[in-house]
Structure 1
Amino acid sequence: MTIKVLNLTHCKAHGFEAILLKNSELAITVIPQLGAKVTSIVSLKHNREWLAHDKQITLKITKSNDFSEHDSGGWDECFPGISSQLYEHIPNKTYFSHDHGELWCQAWKITNTHISDEEIILSLQAEVFDSTFTFIRTFTLKKHSKRLLVDYYVKNNTTHNLPFVWSAHPIFAIKPEMRILINNKHMEFKVDEGLSRFYNVNSAFINWSECSTKVPPLNKVMPYNSSFASKIFSKHLNTGTHKDQSIIVKLVDDKAQQSCGFEFSSTNISHLGLWFNYNGWSANEQLPPFVLGIEPCIGSNDSLHKAMASEEEGLIKGNAHKSWHMSFFVN
């Protein structure tokens, strides 16, 4: 009897119709109706769930587009901005972009499901601002692979050059003492208010190699109830001596000898964001979670306006498209 290694099945998750992609190493659950949210990534070899899920929050279809009702963990996509603000870049039109963008608060359309003896492909599509943008994310899972390939395609359906910020928004389940490894030790991050206050840092940027000298070190997950919360963005990754680099950022559990992370090229993904929340911040009246966000992104800020002010936003020309890709891996 032949055991099928690759499976793409329709199932239920959190009370919603979901899609499960599975090979011998990974099981990934996606809910199209909830912004194509990835609610689960399980490393089958270790039976380990890598994504966080806040049990205080019940996933539901939002009526107010309030992200705090949806912020249970998992992996969302943020576009065309992360913070809420007006989008005024189309002549004679103004749209309001909600907190964490326009993708999480709508149902996505399944545009392609393909399964062969060698790979599974799942493509989902969303429209933004009355089809100003068409946003497509494609997952490819190959037989016996420990990597989920992620491809993005965004079409500008207007004649105008349009700016954007994009961020993958995966929230990871963590434990104290886990490490955050980045293959570029010289990567510099913009110091935000949370980081400045916690460490009494007065500089505008901090080098990742310096983070190991802090007390407690920033490149190691802090103890529970550390009350630390900070969102930091790297400097542009594709400048100077670091052009065309392969960026690897990894979350490591040394005790279990397990890890997961992302690999991407600085050629098409320009920044890296890190969201530390060690019981330090809550968007609602619930207890603050203990989680980590590792967020490959295009743009240097949650705010599109601020990213544009520093000339570090993404741009799609009129009637053109932009593509980028990355991979998520487990070990």
Structure 2
Amino acid sequence: MPPYFIENSALRLACYPEYGGKLFSLTERSTGTEFLLPPAAAYLSNSAGSVFEDSDRGGFDECLPSVAACSASPHHLAVPDHGELWRTSWEIQNASAVELSMSATCPCSELQLARKATLDGSAIDFHYQLTNLGRETRNWLWSAHPLLFVEPGDQILLPDDIDEARVECSLSGEWKGDLLAQRPKRHFADGQERHVLPAEFPLSLTFG
């Protein structure tokens, strides 16, 4: 199945339904800036035995029913690293110039994830729906898994209701789960602890 593209005047989004519904490119049209990490290896046809280390390791995947390899209930179901969906072919349910709706079902856990991506000016709106197609209750954990193309000086700006940010690891080993940033707080006369910075001073993580 060939790649599928949606675009508006600001953004262009590219997807490979066959390769786990991967969003492999997101570009700003006026500058050509690419926001997603390019593949580190060739795109390969995935199968039930594929391992994430052998994948392209780029772009934007969906992790379900877990991010890490684990044993899930019921029946101690073996969940592979990064879940099942990255190695499952997705189906396009609906598509237009600025919207792409797709879905895929985890072969083992029988969880179906539907994702609708809509371009809205310079933003992307994602809407997800999770359905258990099996007869048994399933434990699950979902994570959007975008790998961003970053350069020194780039920042991630977090909204005012985020108190702190932690990073699990980094490829360089520089970040090892240490607290990177914490919004200052102050105790007030009413006994409450509040952030002292208003929303126009967002918490930011800077790539050096």
CA RMSD of aligned residues (A): 3.4
Corresponding position of 2:189: none
Q: Distance in 2 between matches of 1:200 and 1:38?
A: 28
Q: Do the aligned residues in 2 keep the contact of 1:137 with 1:152 (CA within 8 Å)?
A: yes
> What CA distance in whole angstroms lies between the structure 2 residues aligned with 1:199 and 1:131?
33
| Contact 1:187–1:207 under 8 Å retained in 2 | no
Letter in 1 for 2:115: R
Contact 2:88–2:106 (CA under 8 A) maintained in structure 1: no
Aligned to 1:105: 87
TM-score by length of structure 1 reads: 0.50
> In the aligned structure 1, how far is the partner of 2:6 from the partner of 2:105?
24
Residue-by-residue CA offset, 1:254-313 (whole Å, 9 max, x unaligned): xxxxxxxxxxxxxxxxxxxxxx9x9xxxxxxxxxxxxxxxxxxxxxxxxxxxxxxxxxxx
Counterpart in the other structure of 1:164: 140
Structure 1 partner of 2:182:
209
Q: In structure 1, what is the equivalent of residue 155 of structure 2?
A: 179
TM-score normalized with structure 2 length:
0.76
CA distance in structure 1 between the aligned counterparts of 2:94 and 2:19, rounded to whole angstroms: 18
**C-alpha contact (below 8 Å) 1:38/1:74 kept by paired residues:** yes
Structure holding more helix per residue: 1
- What is the CA–CA distance in structure 1 between the aligned matches of 2:113 and 2:176, rounded to whole Å? 40
The runs of 5 or more residues in structure 2 that have no matched partner are 184-192
Q: Distance in 1 between matches of 2:15 and 2:204?
A: 22
After TM superposition, give the deviation of residue 208 of structure 1 in Å: 2.3
Q: Mark the CA change 1:24 to 1:173 in structure 2 (over 3 Å): closer, same or farther.
A: same
Match of 2:53 among 57, 61, 68: 68
2:187 maps to what in 1? none
Shift of 1:131: 6.5
Verify the 8 A CA contact 2:22 2:60 in the aligned structure 1. yes
Structure 2 counterparts to residues 71-220 of structure 1, below 5 A: 71-88=56-73, 90=74, 93-115=75-97, 120-130=98-108, 132-142=110-120, 145-184=121-160, 187-189=163-165, 192=168, 206=179, 208-209=181-182
Match of 1:58 among 21, 32, 42: 42
Name the amino acid aligned to 1:36: G
Aligned residue in 1 for 2:186: none
For 1:151, give the aligned amino acid. Answer: H
Structure 1 gap ranges (5+): 1-15, 211-239, 253-275, 279-331
2:27 maps to a residue whose letter is: V
